[in-house]
Structure 1
Amino acid sequence: MSPLEEALNLDASITEEEGNILATKIMELDCALINEQVYDVATGLWNIGQHRYSGVGFSSEVSDVIAFWIERNFDENATYVERLIDVIYELTSSGSDNIVRNLIQKTANENIKGCLIEAFAYKGT
């Protein structure tokens, strides 16, 4: 089973370290570079966040990688944008803070901007 399939099918709790390792493996997959798979990759990352024993979020290093991936794939008009925002809640790094600030500034859709602000306020808590 690929790391993405594993993340999409999580049904048991995992440790913080296991979540970081799985997320890193997903970010290294070719599917993370394919626009048509953004929703699946984001859902896998979100599932990891939902199935961790603790709610601390991804490590700073993993958060940075995920944040760059989100920035590269962010399109406020895409159907998957809300799932990308769900993943932002799980980020912890200062680098990801800067990326989310940039997305907030670039976003014209007020609803999406509000969701980004909410995710930014929550992340890392």
Structure 2
Amino acid sequence: MVDIETHRVIDLIPSREGNDVVEWLKTYPNLKIVSRDGSITYHNAIKIAHPEAIQVSDRFHLLKNLTSYCKEFLMNYFKARVPIKVPEKPKVDVAATSEASLTNKKLTLEEK
């Protein structure tokens, strides 16, 4: 648990079990806003211990989810393969080209 105004750690929860979390949260009767991850266990425990408390996602998970959704959208939006049009090559005599490349050991720009 962190104080939202001072950003200082107040306490650490000893367990992630629902009943333990409820009991632990009840030891803090003045909770009004709770920032948490997406755990359904924490959601339910907060709802039981402090039904009037407002629950919000923490910054880390907001940004993580945002980047994941953006990446997924971009991967679906852009095709995996982008076609590149290559201009047609002029027809070259293969037999003559093979002999020339064997004798010169270098290919011309057209041969490449």
Common topology (TM > 0.5): no
TM-score computed with the length of structure 1 as normaliser? 0.28
- Which has the greater radius of gyration? 2
Higher relative contact order (CA 8 A, sep 6+): 1
* Structure with more helix by fraction: 1
Question: What is the TM-score of this pair, normalised by structure 2?
Answer: 0.30
Per residue, is there more strand in 1 or in 2?
Answer: 2
